[in-house]
């Protein structure tokens, strides 16, 4: 089943037209997203962490770390809940060395994921992983996929726009092409929010490009991004954060006004029961 889903997922990246991949944080959100008609679902490390009352991959405080084991427990629940290909947010592979990244990819395939992100941002230090090490990590992930005889869409996430490097655009393009040469199937320069920058990324990167929408000062449009050649559009934690925003607005309305107008947009009990009983 994992191999079949991965093949379907990879075909989406090779099609002429790009696609939208919203991000789930639990089984219920995955089922609702799948019911909306999307071809694939991503997961969001932020949404999963927040649902457990933890920050998104903050390893400075041992008590607040979302462990790989906790993450994979939730990833398996999401995979089991839907028939669509699921792409996992695998952070930085849960360790700096290539061997740990390779082990994370093995676990991801065993969990039934059709693909996964490995990012080049080092949470244990300020900034990105050394470029050579970052490439080695992607190469090790690809070797693991090939050695398994299976299929898996490897997405290299690039955080040059998020960490304050001197020339983030040039850095993102260079790293993206190096990661593609090392075996990545798709690259994900995270952070650019203007169309000129995104156009440059699409034209200068020699493979499928993932762009995230839903955060940043400019509301990016799905049709426009697809039209300029973005292959995969994800939403990161935007839907999860929006859901938590509703929780906050609900309790404020309840306590400040004593009303429950927020309940007008809820999905009905019978509809949810029917949806989750499929």
CATH number at residue 209: 3.20.20.60
> Cα 173 vs. chain centroid, distance in angstroms?
19
CA–CA distance, 71 with 45 (Å, rounded to integer)? 8
Q: Does residue 140 fall inside a structural domain?
A: yes
Residue 257 domain-assigned? no
Residue 248: inside a domain, yes or no? no
pLDDT attached to residue 88: 98
How far is it, in rounded angstroms, from Cα 48 to Cα 54? 9
- Does 260 fall in a domain? no
Whether 86 is covered by a domain: the verdict is: yes
- Give me the residues paired with residue 43 across strands: 24
Query: Phi and psi dihedrals of 176, rounded to 5?
Result: -55, -45
Average pLDDT, the chain: 95
pTM: 0.95
pLDDT tens per residue, the chain (278 residues)?
Answer: 899 999 999 999 999 999 999 999 999 999 999 999 999 999 999 999 999 999 987 666 667 789 999 999 999 999 999 999 999 999 999 999 999 999 999 999 999 999 999 999 998 888 999 999 999 999 999 999 999 988 999 999 999 999 989 999 999 999 999 999 999 999 999 999 999 999 999 999 999 999 999 987 778 999 999 999 999 999 999 999 999 999 999 999 999 999 999 999 999 999 999 999 97
pLDDT in tens, 21-32: 999 999 999 999
Q: Do the domain assignments include residue 134?
A: yes
Number of domains in the chain: 1
- Look up residue 261 and give its two tokens: 């107008």
Containing structural domain, residue 172? 2-237
In a domain, 267, yes or no: no
Task: Note the pLDDT of residue 59.
Answer: 64
Residue 210 lies in a domain: yes
Q: How far apart are CA 11 and CA 47, in angstroms?
A: 27
């Amino acid at each position: 089943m994992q191999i079949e889903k991965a093949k379907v997922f990879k075909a989406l990246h090779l099609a002429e037209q790009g696609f939208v991949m919203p991000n789930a944080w639990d089984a219920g959100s995955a089922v609702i997203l799948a019911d909306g008609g999307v071809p694939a679902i991503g997961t969001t490390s932020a949404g999963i962490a927040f649902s457990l009352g933890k920050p998104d991959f903050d390893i400075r405080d041992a008590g607040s770390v979302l462990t790989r084991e906790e993450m994979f427990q939730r990833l398996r629940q999401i995979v089991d809940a839907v028939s669509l290909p699921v792409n996992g947010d695998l952070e930085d592979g849960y360790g700096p060395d290539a061997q740990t990244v390779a082990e994370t990819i093995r676990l991801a395939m065993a969990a039934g994921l059709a693909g996964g992100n490995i990012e080049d941002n080092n949470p244990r230090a300020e900034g990105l992983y050394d470029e050579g090490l970052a490439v080695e990590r992607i190469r090790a992930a690809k070797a693991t996929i090939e050695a398994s005889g299976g299929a898996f869409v490897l997405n290299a996430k690039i955080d040059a726009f998020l960490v304050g490097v001197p020339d983030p655009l040039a850095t993102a393009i260079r790293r993206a092409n190096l990661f593609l040469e090392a075996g990545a199937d798709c690259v994900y320069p995270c952070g650019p929010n203007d169309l000129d920058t995104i156009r440059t990324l699409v034209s200068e990167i020699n493979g499928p490009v993932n762009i995230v929408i839903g955060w940043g000062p400019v509301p990016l449009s799905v049709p426009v991004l697809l039209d300029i050649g973005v292959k995969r559009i994800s939403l990161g934690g935007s839907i999860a954060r929006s859901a938590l925003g509703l929780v906050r607005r609900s309790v404020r309305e309840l306590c400040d006004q004593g009303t429950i107008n927020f309940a007008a947009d809820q999905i009905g009990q019978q509809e949810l029961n029917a949806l989750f009983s499929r």
